[in-house]
């Protein structure tokens, strides 16, 4: 951001901007550290290194890369009740 534009922002917006930049730099530093030490670059590893919350780290997914974020859809069927399809080949009839 241009310094002149930055100085025109109200105080609250300046603070929010600075905080976002600080968070971004912390995540980038953690990614660099993990890569230098041949560790997997995952959201949880970044959370552990930075002390930021998982929600905060996930907001910066463009830095981490989607391939390193947990894909919750692959666990979707694990907790869903298992429903068996109806057997339409059976010739048995229900008597009433």
pLDDT tens column, 9-19: 677 888 888 99
The tokens for 12 are: 């609250």
What is the predicted pLDDT for the residue at 72?
Answer: 46
What is the predicted pLDDT for the residue at 73?
Answer: 47
Nearest to 56 by CA among 91, 12, 19: 19
What is the predicted pLDDT for the residue at 82?
Answer: 53
- Whether the CB-CB separation of 59 and 65 falls below 8 Å is answered with no
pTM summary value: 0.60
DSSP labels, 33-45: HHHHTT----HHH
pLDDT tens column, 49-95: 999 998 899 888 888 876 666 654 444 444 555 555 555 665 656 55
């Amino acid at each position: 951001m241009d310094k002149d534009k930055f100085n025109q922002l109200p105080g609250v917006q300046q603070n929010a901007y600075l905080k976002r930049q600080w968070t971004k730099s912390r995540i980038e530093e953690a990614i660099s550290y993990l890569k230098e030490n041949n560790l997997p670059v995952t959201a949880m590893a970044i959370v552990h290194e930075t002390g930021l919350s998982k929600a905060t780290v996930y907001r910066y997914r463009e830095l981490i890369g989607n391939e390193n974020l947990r894909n919750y859809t692959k666990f979707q069927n694990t907790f869903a009740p298992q429903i068996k399809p109806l057997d339409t080949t059976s010739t048995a009839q229900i008597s009433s």
